[in-house]
Structure 1
Amino acid sequence: MKHRRMPRRRIVVAGAGIAALVAAGVTFQSANASESPKTPELQTLSAPAAGKLASTLVEHLGTDAAGVYYDTETKSLVVNVLDKTAADAVERAGAKARVVANSLAELDGARTTLKKDATIPGTSWATDPVTNKVVVTADKTVAGTAWTKLSKVVGALGGKAELKRSKGEFKPFIAGGDAINGPDGRCSLGFNVLKDGKPYFLTAGHCTTSISTWTDADGKGVGKTEKTSFPGDDFGLVKYDSGVDHPSEVNLYDGSTQKITGAAEATVGMKVTRSGSTTKVHDGKVTGLNATVNYEEGSVSGLIQTDVCAEPGDSGGSLFSGDKAIGLTSGGSGDCSAGGETFFQPVTEALSATGTEIG
């Protein structure tokens, strides 16, 4: 197998709060006391740099932070806040502040209500920082009393949620990075990892649930499933057979590969690329985080939602941004002709749960 192509609190603006942010590497615009105040300068950031700044600001803003996203047009970080004091702190850090109506606690409360009252197969929901709402999506199978129930629950949430329709059907993308095969289907390899110095790879949990022994396209043994988490999460860990090459790369299906040097958290607005054995390579952006999707097989939470297309057989495939691993293809609706929504298991969570590292 040519595995060289395989993927692998509210803060006080003065005093200790600012000192902590500065110590964390956040640069604030300042003016000499004798000069007129200057308008804070909006920083131009790469998506990874915006993610780091977001983590720092959210940690120190605490409950005054109400979500963040990356504006790809201005290449800047946008931070939702609840009052002007927090907005001033955000702008001093070089990010753009938006004062919004809904706190994260209120949006989390809406998600709790949805989980309790509207866990219906064919539905999903994710917090959208751009609209400052929980976006609930129903696929084409949600009809009749199920649609009536869902509409009633979402309507009762008022301005904290909105309901949308998907033309497709939410399902794990398994047909029956590089193709990996089992007796009952085909999936895609996600990322190569190391555990105690030994080679493994990550793929989708709904794949490893039913397949224990994996082969390549030529029928040669690749590895055996060691750990599975699905539903709830959607990742699986496979231990390589002896002698199988395992560089930390993703197949770009044009004769080249993308080297993967580590893993990173997704940020709404981040540009991402997906590689899979059915539809090869497609680009898009992250549209939601901490998404819940209700498959017929069960609910999976904590997912990354994107507008990148995928189809059966792409399950487990790599979602990456530059040289950083971001997610493992779980499922969604639509296809690469009509488009749709696709959900990904965060790689960082899978690495932590399996005790592995990119390598």
Structure 2
Amino acid sequence: MVTQAAMASEPPGTSTAARGAAEAVVTNPGTALVKKLGTARTAGTWLNSAGRPVVAVTDEGSAAAVRQAGAEAKVVSHSMNELKSATATLRSAPRVPGTAWVMDYRSNQVVVQADSTVSAGDWSQLTRTASGIGSFVRMERTTGKFTTRINGAQPILSTGGRCSAGFNVTNGSNDFILTAGHCGPTGSTWFADNQAEQQVGQTVNSNFPGSDFSLVQYAGKAGAGADVVAIGNGNGVRITGSGDAAVGQRVFRSGSTSGLHDGEVTGLDATVNYPEGTVGGLIETTVCAEPGDSGGPMFSDGIALGVTSGGSGDCTTGGTTFFQPVNRALSQLGVQLIVAAPSADAQGGASTASAAPAPSSSSQGALSPGTASPGTTTPVTSTGVSETLASRLTDPRNIGPGLLVIAGSIFALVATRYFRAEQDRKAYQRYYSATWG
């Protein structure tokens, strides 16, 4: 599956579809209560299994205020100030690649993780640092490695690696792809094919490490359908705005290697010590990802939340994935999401369809968003589909009989991945059919 929506472009001289302002969305009403009560009296907020906001507070007076506002209160021992002080101490300690930490609001702890590359000596030193902070710092060893999710994927390729396109954004004059910063430095040129013949654009602003986002500027405009991200099977999700992720929120991620997968937000403001450098302020989730999914979009109910940064594990065994928050990237870059203008139907009038420009190359999908509601799927059509890898591998005119065994193994692997992706797509459909009716 290719995130074709973020790659849609048009030839110079063609008109683009009408655009509207992106909607700012509050994903957790408890955030306003946290801001009102202050970080000395609260310790984060999350959504429970029923979608109701829960606010962690340090005293009964604050708990009463939370309940009066209609949210659920949980009295905890440590304030947000204490949790942040703990993470500041961890950040000031000698950097250990392969480690990460995040504030776990639900357990009122700071969780420190170390992957399989962290030595016993470094683990002992980190444990001593954590012990000096307090018992609310929890240490965990995790399998796999914390890595950025680059290499081995399409649709955007450069000499620096391969990544997934994220969301289309604009500064009012030029259009860009918002993707991961570790995908390539400023000046990187991106293509839609392995032959470097179909140029997508060039990185004009890259932030990594520290943060993990970048802008790839289109040579022209993003084109019609720029508000849709592909999720496979010819379908896409219309993006109508951006929001801040909430702990406990169910989210979906789309990437060019592993396709569509879902999971839950487990932490905010996470810090990850990748081998290439440290990145802070990330969203921690249970969504899986694999190399090549970097930069791909994370969303929920048609709301853009983040772009894929990195993590551990894969989509066979599961894992942890971290995302760069979209709103923070948009603010620092001075750009906004490209969304479709409200239809006339939504305003009580007759709708008028605008003609979609043809794609600039055969590998870039021409999108047909139609009149889908926010969060629902909408058709995505592609042109010029080439012969599949499987058909070439199984053609006896091209390979010897011995390679048929290899082709059979590859087919079995692809079939397993397909069925897993189908399960995720069905979960997506069930979730949104209940949400949107």
**Do they fold alike, i.e. is TM over 0.5?**
yes
Q: Residue by residue, what CA displacement relative to the aligned partner does 1:22-65 show, whole Å, maximum 9, x if unpaired?
A: xxxxxxxxxxxxxxxxxxxxxxxxxx6651x2222112111311
Count of residue pairs the alignment pairs up: 317
Give the secondary structure class of the aligned counterpart of 1:227.
strand
Give the secondary structure class of the aligned counterpart of 2:233.
coil
Equivalent residue for 1:115? 91
Equivalent residue for 1:202? 178
Contact preservation (8 Å) 1:3, 1:245: no
- Of all paired residues, the percent bearing the same amino acid is 45
Cα separation, 2, equivalents of 1:273 and 1:199 = 24
Contact preservation (8 Å) 1:135, 1:164: yes
Given residue 214 of structure 2, which amino acid in structure 1 is its aligned partner? G
Distance 1:211 1:335, change over 3 A: farther
Equivalent residue for 2:291? 312
Equivalent residue for 2:214? 236
Give the unaligned 5+ runs of structure 1: 9-47
- Given candidates 119, 127, 140, the residue that maps to 2:103 is 127
Cα separation, 1, equivalents of 2:216 and 2:151 = 19
Equivalent residue for 2:205? 227
Given residue 64 of structure 1, which amino acid in structure 2 is its aligned partner? R
Q: Quick check: 1:69 aligned with 2:38?
A: no
Distance 1:108 1:3, change over 3 A: closer
Cα separation, 1, equivalents of 2:155 and 2:258 = 11
Cα separation, 1, equivalents of 2:250 and 2:232 = 19
Q: Which moved more, 1:167-176 or 1:216-225?
A: 216-225
Cα separation, 1, equivalents of 2:139 and 2:332 = 33
Alignment RMSD (CA, Å): 1.9
- Given candidates 128, 134, 139, the residue that maps to 1:163 is 139
Q: Cα distance, 1:141 vs. partner?
A: 0.6
Distance 1:7 1:90, change over 3 A: farther
Given residue 75 of structure 1, which amino acid in structure 2 is its aligned partner? G
Q: Cα distance, 1:227 vs. partner?
A: 0.1
Distance 1:122 1:187, change over 3 A: same
Give the secondary structure class of the aligned counterpart of 2:318.
coil
Contact preservation (8 Å) 2:6, 2:177: no
- Given candidates 240, 244, 254, the residue that maps to 1:275 is 254
Distance 1:111 1:289, change over 3 A: same
- Given candidates 147, 152, 157, the residue that maps to 1:181 is 157
Give the secondary structure class of the aligned counterpart of 2:288.
coil
Cα separation, 2, equivalents of 1:319 and 1:358 = 14
Give the secondary structure class of the aligned counterpart of 1:159.
coil
Give the secondary structure class of the aligned counterpart of 2:135.
helix
Q: Residue by residue, what CA displacement relative to the aligned partner does 1:161-206 show, whole Å, maximum 9, x if unpaired?
A: 1011110101100006972111232100010001123211100000
Cα separation, 2, equivalents of 1:57 and 1:143 = 42
Give the unaligned 5+ runs of structure 2: 9-24, 339-437
Give the secondary structure class of the aligned counterpart of 1:288.
strand
Cα separation, 1, equivalents of 2:94 and 2:47 = 30
Cα separation, 1, equivalents of 2:306 and 2:7 = 11
Give the secondary structure class of the aligned counterpart of 2:323.
strand
Equivalent residue for 2:409? none
Contact preservation (8 Å) 2:169, 2:336: yes
Cα separation, 1, equivalents of 2:55 and 2:335 = 32
- Given candidates 68, 72, 81, the residue that maps to 1:105 is 81
User: Larger Cα Rg: Structure 1 or Structure 2?
Assistant: 2
TM-score, scaled relative to structure 1: 0.84
Equivalent residue for 2:123? 147
Q: Residue by residue, what CA displacement relative to the aligned partner does 1:133-178 show, whole Å, maximum 9, x if unpaired?
A: 1111100011221111112112222222101111010110000697
Q: Quick check: 1:6 aligned with 2:6?
A: yes
Equivalent residue for 1:23? none
Cα separation, 2, equivalents of 1:276 and 1:3 = 7
Equivalent residue for 1:294? 273
Contact preservation (8 Å) 1:7, 1:191: no
Give the secondary structure class of the aligned counterpart of 2:261.
strand
- Given candidates 228, 234, 238, the residue that maps to 1:255 is 234
Contact preservation (8 Å) 2:294, 2:310: yes
Give the secondary structure class of the aligned counterpart of 1:142.
coil
- Given candidates 244, 261, 278, the residue that maps to 1:265 is 244
Contact preservation (8 Å) 2:3, 2:231: no
Contact preservation (8 Å) 1:290, 1:302: yes
Cα separation, 2, equivalents of 1:243 and 1:232 = 30
Cα separation, 1, equivalents of 2:93 and 2:213 = 27
TM-score, scaled relative to structure 2: 0.70
Q: Cα distance, 1:126 vs. partner?
A: 0.5
